Amino acid sequence: MRGGWIALLLALLGGSSLSLLYGGEAQPAVVCNVKVLSDKVEDVSSFEAWQQAVIKPDMSDAQKALAAWETVVKFRHHDTFPDECSALGPSGTLDAIKLFNVYGYCRGTGAQPAFLQLVRQMGYEARAWSVNRWGVPELKYGGAWHMFDPGMICYFRKPDGAVASVEELVAGVKGWLEQHPGMQGDEPKIRKYQADPGFKQGPGILVNCPTYDERGNFALNYFGWFSAMVLYDGSNNTPFLYEEASSQGYRVNIRLRKGERLTRNWSNKGLHVTAGDGKKVECLELQTGSKALYYTPKWGDLANGRVGNGTLEYAVPLGDPEVFGAFLSAENLAQRAANREAEALLHVQDAAKPGEFVLHMPCSYVYLAGKLAYDALVGDGGSIAVAFSDNHGREWRPLGEAKTSGPQELDLTPFVLRRYDYRLKFTLRGKGSGLNKLELTHDIQHSQRALPALGQGENTVRFSAGPQESTLSIEGAGMQFKGKQVTCEEFGALFNGINMEKHAKAGVWIPEGAQCDVTFPIETPGDLARIRFGCNYRAGQEQEYWDLQVSLDGGKTFQSAGRAAGPTRQNAKWVVFSEIPPGTRKALVRFAGVSRGNIVLWRHRIDADYLEPRGGFAPIKVMYTWEEAGQPKEDIHIARMPEETWGITCAQKPVLKSIVLERAD
């Protein structure tokens, strides 16, 4: 009955070290922030990681801006929008770090906000324009504005070498067109002029673009000199300031428990997040260096393609005494004694009441499909029920109930699709009822481009693990996406003074009067370290704003963590709140609006980082597989320290296959 009192003691100790139970140092239940990097690919797993990897202290402002632009160009390809239905209104994925790591592709309206996010987090003032239904971003340094377009992959240098602004581009193109009547807006004529007499005979402001090819097309041939001539001609009352909605807060945090295995492949099997919606992803079947991906090797792309399909598998070690530490909670359970072969590996301890445990399944990559397989031992009149939650345990939906012994299988795909985090609750009833096997298998989507690729010759691989933190995330969807994604209401949002009719129809938050607020409850499995949150919003007048607030006393008082202020037609504000007393696991996050008739909130996201109660370091197995000249190759390394570096030599150009991470203890 050892497992029963282990679970009881763990509950009483609030997650204290398992070494107290065994009289020695036990392995941690989970290792957080596991990372493997190669010297061939920049680390884009978080903004902080990107900044450390790419931005050097001696860089000028212009060099930093160019580095941010190049990052978006490298890690994002022009294609359809990956749609997770995870926003209030338009639901395309618009988080730079998520785009880089999970997808690697999006429309131009995702590339521009990604650039803005990077430069704003570096502290630069930045803005976006609409030019003939295309968005372009600018940032300010050296007392002037400079346009860098990662969507069309272009920027333009003036004769003095400085990068031109949007207003300078419009003035230059418009002035030239006035001297060449009949060309404005006539794309066929402009394309003909690009070839003969040639784009270099056009407006001087457009002559010096570092990404032109010899024909005047940009790095991605969808666009070229002709595009700039159409966009910056000053027609249709453009340019005007306008910013696409965006979100931020996602980070890669690979977590590994005993029995858990993450496989990321430099290939796919045709799966992607919008397949069920009938949307086609052009780059799904393309190889790097060919067709639409012809340009990416010039930007350091060593991957085979762009879309990756991997797997997250978890064979729960039910017989391991430390498995209770891997559960979020466990009650009235015991493990099979050495001399009791008839018992299940994990079973009800006191048959007079049910046994129960909750399994947490976060993943850094979006779930596309899932399967649960378990081997049930059901006593007379007993049962084993399984329930699912995708809103952090606020609500539970029944998945199935086994009333007879034997193998069981449940399809999780309808429940986990588009999710990054869910929980399963197992309720065991009846004398002798228990489990002998519990396995979860998921298909996931990730970008091949961000994986730690190997190149021909010497490669340096760096491993790290920690800090031992996890994150609870809330990005409530609008009611129009109910059933496809977790809505604000399902996350427990409390609305006050919001026009609920407009919220239900369009997903936006618009106040009914002068004041409004929306409050989200947060409860984390471990002590809160910080709360990162913010919004994409409108505050049309100077006196209008959304105040970003946190309460740690159940709503008695709120502290302002920052203000999304006007006047602005559309902007974004993101803050970090870390003034949190030790031992705090509950908080309220509130978006409080003050309106004079012109405030709107389109997107929001909350990320509550918490200390993993049973986190620590344990050895991690890292396995690369690839081919050289058709011959299979592999490198297996056991990382026994939180930071390690080793080398891998590829005698010939490698065809990369996979990188697999799992516990080695």
What does the domain layout of the chain look like in residue ranges?
A: 1-40+252-267+304-468+621-665, 46-241, 473-611
73 touches 210 (CB < 8 A): no
pLDDT of residue 25: 58
Tell me, which fold does domain 473-611 have in CATH?
Jelly Rolls (2.60.120)
Q: Which residue has 């933190």 as its token pair? A: 469
92 touches 110 (CB < 8 A): yes
191 touches 226 (CB < 8 A): yes
CA 558 – CA 567 distance, rounded (Å): 24
pLDDT of residue 10: 38
Give 422's DSSP letter.
-
CA 68 – CA 50 distance, rounded (Å): 9
CA 543 – CA 537 distance, rounded (Å): 14
- The phi and psi torsions of 271 (rounded to 5 degrees) equal -95, 140
Mention every residue, 6+ apart, whose C-beta is less than 8 A from residue 500: none
Tokens representing 507? Answer: 């997903």
Closest CA to 71 of 121, 1, 26: 121
Beta bridge partners of 472: 608
CA 510 – CA 501 distance, rounded (Å): 10
pLDDT of residue 91: 64
Q: Which residue has 């749609």 as its token pair? A: 83
CA 214 – CA 223 distance, rounded (Å): 14
Taking the domain 46-241, which CATH number applies?
Answer: 3.10.620
* Ranges assigned E (strand) in 365-405: 366-377, 383-389, 397-402
pLDDT of residue 501: 87
CA 350 – CA 332 distance, rounded (Å): 6
pLDDT of residue 339: 61
* Gyration radius of the chain over CA positions: 27
pLDDT of residue 222: 85
Q: 530 by DSSP, 3-state: which?
A: strand
Tokens representing 398? Answer: 């029944």
Stated pTM of the model = 0.94
Put residue 114 in one of left, alpha, beta given phi > 0 → left and psi -120 to 50 → alpha.
Answer: alpha
474 touches 421 (CB < 8 A): no
Exposure class string for 335-351: b at 16+ Cβ within 10 A, else e: bbeeeeeebbbbbbbeb
Give 492's DSSP letter.
T
- The phi and psi torsions of 217 (rounded to 5 degrees) equal -90, 155
pLDDT of residue 570: 85
Tokens representing 480? Answer: 């129009």
For the chain, 665 residues long, the average pLDDT of each consecutive 10-residue run is 37 35 64 98 98 97 98 96 83 88 94 95 95 94 98 96 98 96 94 95 97 93 94 94 89 98 98 92 96 96 98 97 95 85 90 97 98 96 97 98 97 98 98 96 98 98 98 93 93 95 85 96 98 95 96 98 93 95 98 96 96 97 98 98 98 98 96
CA 573 – CA 593 distance, rounded (Å): 13
H or E stretch covering 249: none
Closest CA to 218 of 288, 148, 128: 148
88 touches 477 (CB < 8 A): yes
